[in-house]
């Protein structure tokens, strides 16, 4: 891809910086945090310092004030060496922070966004429940209005930053009869970081000025195939008193707002997937020229070089989908279809590319001596989280058919 | 405190270099470029000095064609206040020519401290700072691994064979920086945004006479294949004989 197609000089400066950071600070620890499945607080602190946890938010709200292309570059470059670090940026920024930026009152923005954008505390987004996965409208969590507050009860599942986060945007049913058409609302909830001691070593992850809400806790931490340095947990609400001023947006509009959040989130997961694919490709390309069998570099065998050609071609196509969708979003265009296409294509490219990368590495690729096996484990969830591939196809098909039948 | 740091744009080193068809230069196709490593340490050390003092500012100067602006802008995004490009089409190989242009720029700048990397990682001559020191009549401490400025005076540590050497000097002065002093910071996103609003001045380089040119460049000869003599203790006598008679290292 010709860089000038989507990037200006500032984008390239951001890319250079994140590349250097990823190479020097992330790559050396990625395997370790994957193995022990812990949140990499030391690097989170460094990322906060560099502004990577609030890339697209205005400087008034404590962000870096860059555009969405810069934001996607950050996720893409981090994911080239470690998907978990890329996901942290994506889940924290798009899922945890953007609903407050886009739908919050000025008071809510002032209160929560600077803490999130500066990276002082981690944020998350609670939509999924046991009975509400792809069918996100099937939310069972309830919020019952009682004077100046709501009482929340229920359990969310698979929430990124569930343990390490302190600020969450969650959905709950406020009117069972209306369902997804005006019956689901969003709320801002606060709890204490469960990993306080480790986070405190790096002076990050906690804000004294936030009051934890009694009855709001995190549950079991998932033991996952990939994204192991990312913290995924249940969120449990037991009679949590949430002040009315913590409702995000108009009562009943929570679902529609979340669906819009997901559009941007999908481009982020597409950028993440692209990073994984490219990271795996670069490893495979390098290895293929070094590894010799039958007296020659394995890259000289067509069976290997054609795999590299396929990987590179798909990655190139994915870059156009991601950065085109990001530019559209920046211009304020509707990206529902473009984001779903980017996410569908890139997540499947990541899976194909990482499997090929292992194949190119032979038996060595199947061991932890090389990063490609981790990359393959990290790739799989990209076809599931923030809407499975089936759901992306459903969204794309719905957009296509609406255009025809309208 | 006002500090100037002279920085050079160099190719990243983790590649296999080729020689250009002229035979007098490196083939630049496909190379990636960045600030020379030692210059990065110098910029970081300079920023730390002003941060510690709570006052003062750091300027950077680079000599070369417009592409050096990329390197200057990186320094600006790290926190430097002002950048100057001394413009010329190609960077001569002669440190005297370069040093003359730098000295002309630095002379009336009112700098308390002028800093260099101890050498550029591509040319590896490490003499430009000596030329500038001579032309400006300033004291020079070469290859500092520690540097402190207090009460208008400087002190520095130099690594020497088997130990260290502590020197003190009066300001203004020139120091060149060795590794180990400070790891250069990454430019933060805020720094990158702020850099756009900082001054980057361009002036023609007043190069000195070029008295040194590269005639030819050559790659090291390919290494001959190794030879396996045998295994274990049985191979020792022949190995010793070869080391004595053929390699002549014993
Ligand atoms: C590591 C991780 C992190 C996550 N982070 C978050 C988070 O931060 N916040 C959050 O809210 N959620 C999060 N999730 C949840 C994630 O978004 C859901 O897992 C995902 O949406 C799928 O839901 P499900 O797991 O219930 O699968 P199901 O919906 O049960 O799907 C099972 C299968 O059925 C298919 N299927 C379902 N419906 C249809 C249909 N209509 N047509 C065709 N096929 C269909 C699916 O595609 C899938 O193949 C995370 C999940 C994981 C694993």
Nearest CB to A66 within list B73, B74, B189: B189
What average pLDDT does range A278-296 have in this prediction? 97
In-domain check, residue B241: no
Give the total residue count for chain A: 406
Which of chain B's residues have a Cβ under 8 Å away from the Cβ of A55? 189
**Which pLDDT value is given to residue B217?**
92
B99 touches chain A (CB under 8 A): no
How far does CA A318 lie from the centroid of its chain? Answer: 17
- B246 falls within a domain: no
Dump pLDDT digits (tens) for B107-160: 999 999 999 999 999 988 899 999 999 999 999 999 999 999 998 899 999 998
pLDDT of residue B123: 87
Handedness of CA B163, B168, B174, B175 (dihedral sign): positive
**Is the CB of B15 inside 8 Å of chain A's CB atoms?**
no
Q: Which two tokens stand for residue A115?
A: 């803490």
Q: How does A359-378 read in b/e, with b if 16+ C-beta sit within 10 Å? A: ebbeeebeeeebbbbbbbbb
* φ, ψ of residue A101 in degrees (nearest 5): -65, -45
DSSP class of B219 = P
Whether residue A260 is predicted with pLDDT greater than 80 in this model: the reply is no
What CA–CA distance (Å, rounded) separates A12 from A155? Answer: 43
User: What is the distance in A from the centroid of ligand 1 to the CA of A383?
Assistant: 9
Dihedral of CA atoms A243, A248, A253, A255 in degrees, nearest 10, equals -100
Question: Would B184 be classed as within a structural domain?
Answer: yes
Which atom of ligand 1 approaches the CA of A127 most closely?
11
Q: What is the mean pLDDT of residues A157-186?
A: 94
Backbone angles phi, psi at A314, to 5 degrees: -65, -40
Decide: B137 and B27 in contact? Cβ < 8 Å. Answer: no
The DSSP-derived string for A203-245 is T-S--TTSPPPTTEEEEEEP--SS-TTS-EEEEEEEEEEEEGG
CA-based nearest residue to A379, from A342, A346, A340: A346
Cα separation, B176 vs B167, whole angstroms:
13
Check pLDDT > 70 for residue A406: no
- Is a pLDDT exceeding 90 seen at residue A400? yes
B191 within 8 A of B197, measured Cβ to Cβ: no
CATH of residue B181's domain is 3.40.50.620
Residue A207 tokens read as 């804000």
Determine the distance separating the centroid of ligand 1 and the alpha carbon of A269, expressed in angstroms.
14
Distance CA A131, CA B145 (A): 62
Q: How far apart are CA A119 and CA A79, in angstroms?
A: 19
Any CB–CB contact under 8 A between B190 and chain A?
yes
Q: What is the per-residue pLDDT for A405?
A: 75
The first and second tokens of residue A187, run together, are 């709320």
pLDDT given at position A403: 75
Taken in order B58, B59, B60, B61, the sign of the CA dihedral is negative
Residue B171 domain boundaries: 2-204
Instruction: Judge contact between B153 and B170, C-beta under 8 A.
Output: yes
Chain A within 8 Å of B183 (Cβ-Cβ)? no
Cβ pair A70:B196 closer than 8 A: no
Cα(A376) to centroid of ligand 1, in Å?
Answer: 19
Q: Is B52 on the interface with A (CB under 8 A)?
A: no
Asked, for residue B216, whether it belongs to a domain, the answer is no
Please tell me the distance from the alpha carbon of residue B244 to that of residue B250, in angstroms, as a whole number.
Answer: 5
A/B interface, count of CB pairs below 8 Å: 40
What pLDDT band is residue A262 in, cutting at 50, 70 and 90? confident
Q: Is the residue at B36 inside a domain?
A: yes
Helix, strand or coil for residue B191?
Answer: helix
Q: Which of A127, A380, A385, A387 to mutate to test the pocket of ligand 1 (most atoms within 8 A of CB)?
A: A385
pLDDT at A345 over 90: yes
Pocket test for ligand 1, best of A384, A386, A395 (most atoms within 8 A of CB): A384
Nearest Cα residue to A325 out of A379, A392, A401: A392
What's the A87 CA to ligand 1 centre distance in angstroms? 16
Does some domain include residue B104? Answer: yes
Q: What is the pLDDT of residue A201?
A: 96
Query: Closest by alpha carbon to A33, among A90, A95, A81?
Result: A81
Parallel/antiparallel/unpaired status of strands A122-126 and A165-173? parallel
Q: Give CA separation, A211 vs A169, A193, A195, A214, in Å.
A: 15, 12, 17, 9
Cα A110 to Cα A124: distance, rounded to the nearest angstrom: 18
Catalytic residue among A234, A383, A386, A390: A386
Q: Which of A214, A120, A117 is nearest to A165 (CA)?
A: A120
Contact B73 A70 (CB under 8 A): no
A13/B77 CB distance under 8 A: yes
Render pLDDT for B174-185 as a digit per residue (tens, 0 to 9): 999 999 888 999
H or E segment to which residue B189 belongs? helix B189-195
Give the three-class secondary structure for B27.
Answer: coil
Whether residue A86 is predicted with pLDDT greater than 70 in this model: the reply is yes
- Kindly report, residue by residue over B199-249, the tens digit of the pLDDT: 999 999 999 999 999 999 998 888 888 888 888 898 999 899 999 988 888
Cβ–Cβ below 8 Å for B192 and A10: yes
Measured in Å, residue A387 CA sits from the centre of ligand 1 at: 6
Kindly give the pairing relationship between strand B173-177 and strand B140-150.
parallel
How far off is chain A from B98, nearest CA to CA, in Å? 27
| Any domain includes B16 | yes
What six digits make up the tokens of B160? 């020497």
Dihedral pair phi/psi, residue B148, rounded to 5°: -135, 145
Q: Tell me how far apart the alpha carbons of residues A406 and A400 are, in angstroms, rounded to a whole number.
A: 10
- pTM check: above 0.90: yes
Query: Which pair of structure tokens corresponds to residue A302?
Result: 């067509």
Nearest CA, atom 35, ligand 1: A390
Say if CB B184 and CB B39 are below 8 A apart. Answer: no
> Using CB atoms, which residue from A16, A49, A70 is nearest to B188?
A49
The response to whether residue A258 sits with its C-beta less than 6 Å from ligand 1 reads no
Strand pairing partners for B148?
A: B155
Angle at A158 between CA A154 and CA A159, to 5 degrees: 80
Query: How many angstroms is it from A325 CA to the middle of ligand 1?
Result: 23
* Selection from A345, A350, A352, A354 nearest residue A393 by Cα: A345
Residue contact B74–A16, C-beta within 8 A:
yes
Structural domain tally of chain B? 1
The ipTM, to two decimals, is: 0.89
Buried (b) or exposed (e) across A289-322, using 16+ Cβ within 10 A? eeeeeeeebbbeeeebbebbeebbebbeebbebb
Active site residue A386: yes
* Average pLDDT of the residues in A90-112: 96
User: What CA–CA distance (Å, rounded) separates A77 from A275?
Assistant: 6
Calculate mean pLDDT across residues A88-112. 96
**Cβ within 8 Å, pair A66-B187:** no
Pocket test for ligand 1, best of A158, A273, A378, A390 (most atoms within 8 A of CB): A158
In this predicted structure, the answer to whether residue B90 has a pLDDT above a threshold of 70 is yes
Q: How far is B188 from chain A (nearest CA, A)?
A: 4
Please indicate, yes or no, if residue B157 is contained in any of the structural domains.
yes
CB contacts, 8 Å: A70 with chain B = 189
Confidence of residue A32 (pLDDT cuts 50, 70, 90): very high
* Average of per-residue pLDDT across B39-53: 96
Q: How many residues does chain B have?
A: 250
Q: DSSP characters for A286-310?
A: HHHHH-EETTEEGGGSHHHHHHHHH
User: pLDDT band at residue A31, thresholds of 50, 70 and 90?
Assistant: very high
């Amino acid at each position: 891809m010709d860089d000038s197609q989507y990037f200006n000089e500032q984008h390239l400066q951001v890319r250079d910086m994140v590349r250097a950071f990823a190479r020097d600070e992330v790559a050396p620890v990625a395997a370790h945090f994957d193995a022990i499945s812990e949140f990499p607080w030391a690097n989170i602190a460094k990322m906060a310092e560099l502004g990577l946890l609030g890339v697209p938010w205005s400087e008034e709200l404590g962000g870096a004030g860059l555009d969405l292309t810069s934001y996607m570059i950050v996720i893409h470059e981090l994911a080239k060496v470690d998907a978990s670090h890329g996901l942290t940026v994506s889940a924290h920024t798009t899922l945890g922070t953007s609903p407050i930026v886009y739908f919050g009152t000025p008071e809510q923005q002032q209160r929560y966004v600077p803490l999130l954008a500066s990276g002082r505390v981690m944020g998350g987004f609670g939509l999924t429940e046991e009975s509400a996965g792809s069918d996100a409208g099937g939310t069972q969590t309830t919020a019952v209005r009682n004077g100046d507050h709501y009482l929340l009860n229920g359990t969310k599942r698979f929430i990124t930053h569930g343990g390490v986060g302190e600020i969450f945007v969650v959905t709950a049913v406020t009117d069972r009869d209306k369902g997804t058409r005006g019956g689901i609302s969003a709320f801002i909830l606060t709890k204490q970081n469960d990993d306080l001691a480790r986070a405190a070593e790096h002076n990050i992850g906690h804000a004294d000025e936030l009051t934890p809400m009694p009855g709001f806790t995190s549950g079991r931490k998932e033991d996952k195939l990939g994204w192991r340095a990312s913290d995924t947990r249940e969120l449990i609400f037991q009679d949590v008193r949430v002040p009315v001023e913590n409702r995000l947006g108009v009562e009943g509009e929570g679902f529609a707002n979340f669906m819009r959040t997901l559009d941007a989130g999908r481009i982020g997961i597409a950028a993440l997937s692209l990073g994984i694919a490219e990271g795996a490709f670069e490893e495979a390309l390098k290895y293929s020229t070094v590894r010799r069998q039958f007296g020659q570099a394995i890259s000289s065998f067509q069976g290997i070089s054609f795999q590299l050609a396929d990987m590179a071609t798909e990655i190139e196509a994915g870059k156009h989908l991601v950065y085109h969708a990001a530019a559209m979003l920046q211009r304020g265009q509707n990206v529902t279809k473009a984001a779903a296409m980017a996410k569908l294509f890139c997540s499947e490219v990541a899976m194909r590319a990482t499997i090929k990368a292992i194949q190119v590495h032979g038996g060595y690729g199947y061991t932890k001596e090389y990063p490609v096996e981790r990359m393959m484990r990290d790739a799989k969830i990209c076809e599931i989280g923030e809407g499975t591939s089936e759901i992306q196809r459903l969204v794309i098909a719905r957009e296509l058919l609406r255009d025809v039948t309208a | 405190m006002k500090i100037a740091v002279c920085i050079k744009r160099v190719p990243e080193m983790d590649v296999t270099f080729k020689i250009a068809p002229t035979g007098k230069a490196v083939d630049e196709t496909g190379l990636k470029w960045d600030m020379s490593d030692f210059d990065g340490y110098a910029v970081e050390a300079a920023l730390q000095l002003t941060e510690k003092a709570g006052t003062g500012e750091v300027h950077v100067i680079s000599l070369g064609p417009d592409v050096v602006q990329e390197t200057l802008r990186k320094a600006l995004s790290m926190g430097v206040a002002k950048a100057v490009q001394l413009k010329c089409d190609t960077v001569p190989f002669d440190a005297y020519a370069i040093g003359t242009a730098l000295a002309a720029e630095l002379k009336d700048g009112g700098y308390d401290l002028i800093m260099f990397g101890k050498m550029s990682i591509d040319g590896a001559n490490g003499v430009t700072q000596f030329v500038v020191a001579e032309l400006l009549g300033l004291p020079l401490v070469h290859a500092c691994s520690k540097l402190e400025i207090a009460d208008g005076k400087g002190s520095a540590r130099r690594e020497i064979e088997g130990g260290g050497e502590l020197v003190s000097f009066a300001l203004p002065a020139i120091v060149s920086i060795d590794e180990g002093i400070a790891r250069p910071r990454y430019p933060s996103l805020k720094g990158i945004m702020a850099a756009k609003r900082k001054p980057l001045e361009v002036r023609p380089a007043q190069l000195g006479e070029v008295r040194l040119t590269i005639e030819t460049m050559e790659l090291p000869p390919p290494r001959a294949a190794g030879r396996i003599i045998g295994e274990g203790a049985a191979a020792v006598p022949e190995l010793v004989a070869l080391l004595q008679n053929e390699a002549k290292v014993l």
